[in-house]
């Protein structure tokens, strides 16, 4: 069975997914939708698909699945619309910046028995998958401590930061999901510290640029997350897991695998500088996984619940910073 796709949103990430759909055996790109006619036109031309409105897509018999690549504040409504329309839905994180809205959205998805996959690309990165496989194969025994280092080359523009929900909901959210994925046990407590160190303007906007988080599960496993909005040496994405029998780590990706030696020492190129080049394969893999799940009527590897939990962890981290204390995840989930 071929899964016929429509993509909502022809921006940067919509283009990435258009390419991924086209390159995935068993998937076909049928339509693109975007309020900007020119953007939609480019995708339509590049991949030979129709341009349709969102409502037309919802009503299209020849579309089984959609990928929502529109701005965050439209995600929840679109998920509900397409869940009701009987389409399988792939949505970029987050579902919404408001935890209650995420909950009502997921209630609708559940009521419609719809398929929803939330895009957490880290889980589909080949190196991180190899790291997870090593854990699952028992190579390091029982997981005890996860360390996630995630640093952006530079901060996004102020306009983006304003609508981003803040660093915990925008950037750390990926690492919260990685923590849940690798700890293999739900997180109970969140301790967080947050500062403005790279650019005072970020503070003016009410956000942080440098954060550290300790997550603790019921059995006492830990995950530490370190984030910065600035890393001059490139897009820094490392994971390390300590277990009872050993440890496993995933290394960064460089622009080229060469080394120059001279009188000053040994020099290697900076890291890949952009999340799209760093996670090219991850984006392709997550679409392929969604297609496989839809084609087989199987559960998707990441779910709306994963989106909810990562957002709840972000809320708890914010609360921990604000109140200077360890926050139970239950406080946030029940309060929402």
Interacting residue ranges for its own copies, rule: CB under 8 A: 126-127, 130-131, 134, 139-140, 144-145, 147, 149, 151, 189, 191, 193, 195-198, 210, 212, 214, 216, 219-222, 224, 226, 228, 230-233, 242, 244-270, 324-326
Nearer to its own copies, 186 or 259 (CB): 259
Torsion of the alpha carbons at 106, 110, 114 and 118, rounded to the nearest 10: 30
Of the pair 257, 296, the CB lying nearest its own copies is at: 257
* Shortest distance, position 135 Cβ to its own copies, whole Å: 10
Q: Which residues pair with 215 in a beta bridge?
A: 190, 223
Minimum Å gap between C-beta 318 and its own copies is 14
Integer-rounded Cα Rg, in Å, for the chain is 20
The pairing of beta strand 50-51 with beta strand 65-68: unpaired
**Minimum Å distance from CB 27 to its own copies?**
15
- Write the CA distances from 59 to 9, 201, 263, 291, 336, integer angstroms: 17, 45, 67, 20, 33
CB of 80 to its own copies, least distance (A): 38
Based on CB atoms, which residue is closest to its own copies, 201 or 259? 259
Evaluate whether 79 touches 68 at the Cβ level (below 8 Å): yes
Of 183, 160, 159, 182, nearest to 171 by C-alpha is 160
Smallest distance from its own copies to CB 272, Å: 12
Query: Which of 79, 179 has the CB closer to its own copies?
Result: 179
Whichever of 59 and 260 has its CB closer to its own copies, that residue is 260
What's the token pair of residue 227? 């984030």
Q: Is 6 left (phi over 0), alpha (psi -120 to 50) or beta?
A: beta
Q: Under the phi-then-psi rule, with left for phi > 0, alpha for psi from -120 to 50, and beta for the rest, what region is 98? A: beta
Helix (H) or strand (E) holding 179: helix 173-183
Least gap, CB of 215 to its own copies (angstroms): 8
DSSP letter at 234 equals -
DSSP 170: I
| Backbone φ/ψ region at 237: left (φ over 0), alpha (ψ -120 to 50), beta | beta
For residue 51, CA distances in Å to 64, 87, 291 come to 16, 18, 21
Nearest approach, Cβ of residue 95 and its own copies (Å): 29
In sequence order, the 6+-apart residues with CB closer than 8 A to the CB of 56 are 31, 33
Nearer to its own copies, 77 or 144 (CB): 144
**Minimal distance in Å, beta carbon 291 to its own copies?**
18
The residue (of 93 and 229) whose beta carbon lies closer to its own copies is 229
DSSP one-letter string for 44-78 = HHHHT-EE--HHHHHT-TT--EEEE-S-GGGHHHH
Q: C-beta of 99: minimal distance to its own copies in Å?
A: 22
CB nearer its own copies, residue 43 or residue 91: 43
Of 38 and 266, which CB lies nearer to its own copies in the complex structure? 266
């Amino acid at each position: 069975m071929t899964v016929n796709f429509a993509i909502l949103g022809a921006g940067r990430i919509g283009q990435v997914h258009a390419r991924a759909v086209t390159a995935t055996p068993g998937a076909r790109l049928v339509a693109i939708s975007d309020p900007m006619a020119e953007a939609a036109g480019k995708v339509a031309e590049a991949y030979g698909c129709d341009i349709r409105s969102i409502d037309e897509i919802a009503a299209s018999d020849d579309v089984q699945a959609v990928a929502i690549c529109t701005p965050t504040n439209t995600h929840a409504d679109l998920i509900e619309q397409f869940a009701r329309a009987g389409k399988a839905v792939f949505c970029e994180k987050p579902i919404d910046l408001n935890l209650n809205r995420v909950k009502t959205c997921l209630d609708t998805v559940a009521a419609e028995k719809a398929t929803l996959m939330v895009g957490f690309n880290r889980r589909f990165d080949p190196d991180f998958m190899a790291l997870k496989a090593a854990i699952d194969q028992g190579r390091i025994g029982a997981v005890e401590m996860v360390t996630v280092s995630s640093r952006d080359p530079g901060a996004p523009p102020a306009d983006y930061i304003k609508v981003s929900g803040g660093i915990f909901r925008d950037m750390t959210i990926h690492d919260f999901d990685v923590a849940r994925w690798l700890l293999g046990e739900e997180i109970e407590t969140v301790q967080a510290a947050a500062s403005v160190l790279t650019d005072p303007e970020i503070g003016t906007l009410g956000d942080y640029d440098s954060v550290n988080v300790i997550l603790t599960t019921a059995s006492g496993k830990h995950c530490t997350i370190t984030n910065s909005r600035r890393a001059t040496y490139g897009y820094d994405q490392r994971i390390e897991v300590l277990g009872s029998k050993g440890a496993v780590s995933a290394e960064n990706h460089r622009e080229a695998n060469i080394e120059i030696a001279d009188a000053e020492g040994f020099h290697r190129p900076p890291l890949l500088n952009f999340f799209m080049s760093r996670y090219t394969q991850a984006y392709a893999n997550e679409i392929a996984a969604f297609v496989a799940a839809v084609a087989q009527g199987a559960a998707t590897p990441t779910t709306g619940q994963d989106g909810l939990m990562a957002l709840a962890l972000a809320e708890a981290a914010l609360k921990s910073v604000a109140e200077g204390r360890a926050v139970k995840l239950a406080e946030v989930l029940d309060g929402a």
